[in-house]
Amino acid sequence: MNGLDERGRALGNHGAAGRPAPAGTPPVAPPGVPSGADPVKALMLRHRELCERAVDALEIAAGLEAHGVTDRTAARFRHRDVFSLAEEMYARAARVDEDEVPAGPPAAAGPPPARWALRALLPGALCAGTVAALRWTTGEARLVVGVLGLAAVVGGVRLALGRGPLSSEGRSVPGPHDWRTPPGARAWAYLLVGYALMGDGLLHAGLVGGPDDLPGGRYGDWPVTLTPLLALGLSCAPAVWSAHLFRAGVGRKLAGSRGLEEFAATARPLLLGVVAVHLAAVSGLSALCAVLLDEHSTPAATAALGALLLIARLLTVHGFTHAPGVVLRAVGWTEIASVCLVFAGRLPGCDVLAGPVETVVSVWGEHAVPLLACGAGALVLLVHACRRLALASAHAPAGPRPPSDR
């Protein structure tokens, strides 16, 4: 038990203000506490800043949970759960605020849905334009078009994620949350997309003794697979809408729940449903793009990467940035190591290094490497998200961010 739980145990024998003890139960004062002590008031003093700036009782409940207060702790304050404890704290703090604290500026409204919905279409449109330009060019012009197109796509993704449900802009909650996207995690996400674009072709070329030239798509011996890039770009819109549905659904569940365990039991199925819908969307887009581009591609590998990126982003925008960075880094190193082992196996006496990769590829094909790596990473992050995103503190109302987090 943390220090707050111990304080709750010490003060829990006294009824909360406005909630008398059951008839026939005489109050028992714990040692060292005066008989007239108010445990809820002591808790409010401990979390004075949280109570003063809270806009509703849900924000206080989320803040208490972030500081380790559970339903069991609330029971020691003669409350059935954290939500009812937060309601009393908010009601008592609101009367103090009305008399002593001047009203602050109204909270800034989020961007209109139409705006972020249009931005979510931008990566797909840029990907489609880049793919069309790559199909119509050859030689050095093709390489230049590819570089400029990828730069445009990266800019479009950054713009699409800068506002809306997949943005952490304006989020703030007390507790050990970090609202900044680690630069390393962003770089590894781009590397995974780059592997989906060229990694399988390089792996195949290495296994057959190449490559002998730079990547040239269908005109070279290091094929570039455009299907995953186009499918992932088009899937940005479903990802943003999935995150919007998750945020709206969680908001309704949070408002209707009367306990932390009840909220967690309803939030997890919602998260699993959103991930399943996104998996289906990416798989369908990948199959459609493979037919349109006349390329051999495995929708399952692209869907696994899409799910990995979505879950990592959901965790990041809710303040849990460590696990996504670790998992993305591990998946990236796995894919890099698979290619490096193939080329290291060419060295004299080092054939054994390429053995595991050759076995996997011979049984399931080149697409098995990203499928297994991204699938395992997505599963790990999904288990972690089912724990973290089921916390009420992960969905605290939006508020101004500190300047250092911008």
Those residues with Cβ within 8 angstroms of residue 360's Cβ, 6 or more apart along the chain or in another chain: 368, 369, 372
State pLDDT tens for residues 216-243. Answer: 544 455 677 889 999 999 999 999 998 8
C-alpha dihedral, 330 to 187 to 129 to 220, nearest 10°: -60
Those residues with Cβ within 8 angstroms of residue 213's Cβ, 6 or more apart along the chain or in another chain: 220, 221, 222
Predicted pLDDT at 10 = 38
State pLDDT tens for residues 165-217. Answer: 888 654 544 444 444 566 678 889 999 998 998 888 888 888 887 776 666 54
Identify the CA nearest to 232 among candidates 291, 165, 163, 308.
Answer: 308
Q: The tokens of 214 are what?
A: 């730079």
* Angle at alpha carbon of residue 210, lines to 339 and 133, rounded to 5°: 85
Rounded mean pLDDT, 35-62: 68
Q: How does DSSP classify residue 67?
A: T
* Alpha carbon distances (Å) from 334 to 120, 121, 158, 197, 331: 30, 31, 26, 16, 5
Q: pLDDT-based confidence at 94, cuts 50/70/90?
A: low
Predicted pLDDT at 222 = 66
Q: Can you give the three-state secondary structure of 191-240, one letter per residue?
A: HHHHHHHHHHHHHHHHHCCCCCCCCCHHHCCCCCCCHHHHHHHHCHHHHH
Q: The tokens of 321 are what?
A: 């940035």
Question: Whole-prediction pTM value?
Answer: 0.73
Q: How does DSSP classify residue 217?
A: G
Rounded mean pLDDT, 46-70: 71
State pLDDT tens for residues 306-354. Answer: 999 999 999 998 888 889 999 999 999 999 999 999 988 888 888 888 8
Distance CA 203, CA 151 (A): 24
Q: Which residue has the higher pLDDT, 278 or 401?
A: 278
